[in-house]
Amino acid sequence: MKRIFSMIMLLLILAACEGGGNSSGEPFDANSIITWDRSPQTVVFRTEVVGGDNADAFLTRNQIPLCTIYGDNRVVWLNDLGDFKTQVLWDKVTDQQIQDFISYITVAQQVFNYDAGADLMPPSAVQPVREVITVSVNGRTHQTDSMSSNEWPLDYFETIVNFCKLVSQAPVLFEPSGAWVSVQSIPYDSTRPLQIWDSSVSTLKLDELATRTEPTWVADNNIPVLWNIIRNSSPQIMFSDIEGNAFDVVLEVPGIHPNAKPAP
| Local confidence pLDDT in tens for the 264 residues of the chain | 444 444 454 444 434 443 333 334 455 655 668 999 999 999 999 999 998 777 668 999 999 999 999 999 999 999 999 999 999 999 999 999 999 999 999 999 999 999 998 766 666 656 788 999 999 999 999 999 999 989 999 999 999 999 999 999 899 999 999 999 999 999 999 999 999 999 878 889 999 999 999 999 999 999 999 999 999 999 999 999 999 999 999 999 999 999 999 999
Nearest to 101 by CA among 23, 18, 11, 9: 9
**What is the value of pTM for the model shown?**
0.86
If asked whether residues 117 and 207 sit together in one domain, one would say no
If asked whether residues 135 and 194 sit together in one domain, one would say no
Is 98 contained in some domain?
Answer: yes
If asked whether residues 144 and 19 sit together in one domain, one would say yes
If asked whether residues 108 and 140 sit together in one domain, one would say yes
User: Which of the listed residues 120, 141, 173 is the one where a domain comes to its end?
Assistant: 173
Is 263 contained in some domain?
Answer: no
If asked whether residues 191 and 164 sit together in one domain, one would say no
Q: Given this model, what pLDDT does residue 2 score?
A: 47
Q: Pseudo-torsion of CA 77, 83, 84, 89, nearest 10°?
A: -20
If asked whether residues 30 and 159 sit together in one domain, one would say yes
Give the domain extent around 183. Answer: 179-252
User: Which of the listed residues 115, 144, 173 is the one where a domain comes to its end?
Assistant: 173
- Rounded CA separation 4/171 (Å): 17
SS3 223: helix
User: Which of the listed residues 173, 192, 214 is the one where a domain comes to its end?
Assistant: 173
CA angle 187, 221, 75 (to 5 degrees): 90
If asked whether residues 143 and 68 sit together in one domain, one would say yes
If asked whether residues 42 and 127 sit together in one domain, one would say yes
